Structure 1
Amino acid sequence: MSGAAVTVLGLCLALGGADAVTPPPGPAVFIVAHRFTLAWTHSIEHVRWEEDYELQPAPSGSAGAPPRLLAVLARVQGSAAGMEPGPDAVLRNGWFEYRPAQREHLGLWLTRSPYTADYELCLDGAPCRPLSAWLPSDGWRTRLWPCAGG
């Protein structure tokens, strides 16, 4: 019995990397996901920030194009220097909610310092967990990007 290869969208995580477009060299961690929330606490203001993302396949007819991250909604529990919510923000249950200005991403660079709490990754139907549950920090940068496995 022969079967077609199944492509599953997910997140890839890896430490460091050369630039913002090319996935970093070395092993990557693959996490199956279609939607997720990336959360963190601001290092100075100590206010929680959350961003919701959807993974989207490359547009049809664009062979070889990578999948995309679509920023759907962002929330912040307050506002302070460098943490202003978007101009369309609405206060709901103690959170300023808004649609991020930059919606489409090829990936994200996350600076992970040993002096601050780690980012949290919240997958549908599961409690939020620190990023270190999937990939230990090297105290510098982690690359998160949409990828396909299968």
Structure 2
Amino acid sequence: MIDLCLGLAGSVWAQLPVSHFTLAWNHSIEKIRWEEDYRVTREGLVLEEARIRGSGAGMEIPDDARLENGSWHFQRLLQPLQPLRLGRTPEAGDYQLCVDGTCRFMSRWVGSPTNSQPFIQLWSCEAVRQPSQDNPRAN
């Protein structure tokens, strides 16, 4: 199985058993919410759709975007990202990871953003499962 790993330079800080997730944040200047839906594959993280609630500095809405429920929806054809590198500082605020409609701040798994560690990476990784207590040889 493939999981989502969070960390830096190949060092895993957290590993989540998810096949899809949404990465969400508020633009640090414009305060506009941005969301990106990803699928976790062996090749990397595949961006399936993005949504933005408005435009602003560095947040241009693509020409082919469609407006639905107050957000602009669009797709970008990108190669799988492996890793996805995110800037993460206290001034910009924290990202949220959303799974099955529930969003939680990334700090839940990797601690609060700091200026001494201004980046984090997300990538697909091999699942590591602990053996069950009933069957210590099970994976």
- The TM-score range, normalised by the shorter chain, is 0.7 to 0.9
Quote the Cα distance in structure 1 between the aligned partners of 2:7 and 2:114.
10
Counterpart of 2:56?
80
Q: Are 1:56 and 2:32 counterparts?
A: no
Q: Cα 1:28–1:119, aligned 2, differ >3 Å: closer, same or farther?
A: same
Quote the residue 1:94 is aligned against: 70
Q: 1:9 aligns with which of 2, 12, 16?
A: 2
Partners of 2:39 and 2:59 in 1: CA distance: 23
Give percent identity, aligned residues only: 40
1:103 offset after TM fit, Å?
Answer: 4.7
Runs of 4+ in 1 over 3 A off after TM superposition: none
Pair 1:147-2:122 in alignment:
no
The structure, 1 or 2, with the larger RCO (C-alpha pairs under 8 Å, 6+ apart) is: 1
CA displacement at 1:128 relative to structure 2? 0.2
Asked if 2 retains the 8 angstrom alpha-carbon contact of 1:86 and 1:100, the reply is: no
Unaligned runs of 5+ in 2: 129-139
Distance 1:27 1:101 in 2: 28
What is the aligned partner in structure 1 of residue 21 from structure 2? 36
Give the superposition deviation at 1:149: 1.1
Query: 1:46 corresponds to which residue?
Result: 31
Aligned to 1:131: 106
Q: Cα distance, 1:138 vs. partner?
A: 3.5
Contact 1:12–1:147 (8 Å) recurs in 2: yes
Confirm whether residue 70 of structure 1 aligns to residue 55 of structure 2. Answer: no
Q: Distance between the aligned counterparts of 1:101 and 1:47, measured in 2?
A: 23
Q: TM-score normalized by structure 2?
A: 0.83
Task: Give ranges in structure 1 of 5+ residues lacking alignment.
Answer: 1-7, 18-22, 58-66
Structure 1 length-normalised TM: 0.77
CA contact (8 A) 2:5 2:12 kept: no
Distance 2:114 2:38 in 1: 25
1:113 aligns with 2:89: yes
Q: Which residue of 2 aligns with 1:5?
A: none
Matched pairs, number: 125
